[in-house]
Amino acid sequence: MSEQKPPRRDFLKTTAASAAGLTVNSLLSHNARANAPRIRFGVIGLNHGHINGQTRAVIRGGGELVSFYAKEPDLAAAFAKQFPQAKQARSEAEILEDKSIQLVVSASIPNERAPLGVRVMEHGKDFMVDKPGITSLAQLAEVRRVQARTKRIYSIMYSERLENGATIKAGELVKAGAIGKVIQTIGLGPHRINPKSRPAWFWERKYFGGIICDIASHQFDQFLFFTGSTSAEIVAAQIRNVNHPQYPQFEDFGDVMLRGNGGTGYIRVDWFTPDGLNTWGDGRLTILGTEGFIEIRKNCDLGGRAGGNHLFLVTQKETRYIECGKEPLPYGEQLVNDIINRTETAMPQAHCFLATELALKAQQRALETSKR
């Protein structure tokens, strides 16, 4: 008995539908691949609230948060609420020994960060840590040694540059030559102290490394970035405990002058943000160039504009205000790319270590000066 062929019109409809189905399926498959996580990462140490921003930056960049660990039940519970997709690990070792995890992110107690980073790198993983990422010159020497041997990434997230739209925009303007050659940066990092919310370790230098090591690490990063300096020296540095005698190991004021092979810098940090300000600190950065200057008001504008991310550009032709709240923040994606490609687009390793070295040397100089 001969097989009956379907009418041509039905055949064409079926063929077209099949082709359309294949096209849709191909598109869905492509989109699924495009949106699929590009790396897997874990979190160890939740002692500073910066961990939430660090984690979100990696997720934005294509990271899948797999698991987290903290010794403190209250911190673990708060993090689990923010990131319910992550499994709570039973120990640090559970994350370090998970071969599917490529990156560990941390905001542990500052003096514990470098030793953790060493363990992470020795387990064949990359490390991204909150500032200060290292609290002593001895720790820095060990981290450098292990990083050179393992070739792992040790990235310190200087969020005042990497997670602030105005600072990102300033980098683009400087690179484009908007203010000529950069001569100097002035970085101001005031903070509100909120004493009732601070843990005991916050008041002791041995845990956080000192005010210059801690807060001013942001400003050293920005000085190197905007001046293009690859080497620098500390000209002068000082620290004081002005208003907290009940905590003799605490410093509430510090400033630094430094000179690099690409420009000079001044840094001032303090814990004197008054309660009347609507943010934790009026962080500012001024970048002086041969043809103009840029001023960034990172968190607020006392002139009345709402929010943060304010940039003021003054050139030979104009004075201009640029609102930068919607600027893309590329650090997370760049870091993920670096992990995959073994590149240094998010932060050159030499830059990361030099910013830390300068902060540590300035802190040491200031301590020596205070004893005279």
Domain covering 39-157 in this structure, CATH number: 3.40.50.720
pLDDT at 35: 64
In this predicted model, what pLDDT tens digit does every residue of 93-150 receive, in sequence order?
999 999 999 999 999 999 999 999 999 999 999 999 999 999 999 999 999 999 999 9
Q: Which residues contact residue 275 at a Cβ distance below 8 angstroms, ignoring those fewer than 6 apart? A: 192
Q: Which residues contact residue 294 at a Cβ distance below 8 angstroms, ignoring those fewer than 6 apart? A: 170, 173, 174, 178, 179, 285, 286, 287, 311, 312, 313, 314
Backbone angles phi and psi of 367, in degrees to 5: -65, -40
In this predicted model, what pLDDT tens digit does every residue of 290-307 receive, in sequence order?
999 999 999 999 988 999
pLDDT at 189: 97
Structure-token pair, residue 207: 């845990």
| 161-331+358-370 under CATH 3.30.360.10, yes or no | yes
Dist. CA 175–CA 182, nearest whole Å: 10
Angle between helix 331-341 and helix 50-60 axes, rounded to 10 deg:
60
Yes or no: say if 179 and 287 are a contact pair by the CB < 8 Å rule.
yes
pLDDT at 303: 85
Q: What is the mean pLDDT of the chain?
A: 92
Backbone angles phi and psi of 62, in degrees to 5: 110, 20
Percentage of the chain modeled with pLDDT above 70: 91
| Residue 33 scores a pLDDT above 50 | no
> E strand or H helix at 44, and its extent?
strand 39-46
**Residue 237: strand, helix, or coil:** strand
Measured from the Cβ of residue 307, the count of other Cβ atoms closer than 10 Å reads 12
pLDDT at 371: 78
**Residue 14: strand, helix, or coil:** helix
In this predicted model, what pLDDT tens digit does every residue of 165-201 receive, in sequence order?
999 999 999 999 999 999 999 999 999 999 999 999 9
Indicate the domain borders of the chain.
39-157, 161-331+358-370
Dist. CA 230–CA 135, nearest whole Å: 21
**Residue 88: strand, helix, or coil:** strand
Please tell me whether the overall predicted TM-score, pTM, comes out greater than 0.85 for this model.
yes
The Cα-based distances of 262 to 171, 184, 227, 265 in angstroms read 15, 9, 5, 10
pLDDT at 26: 47
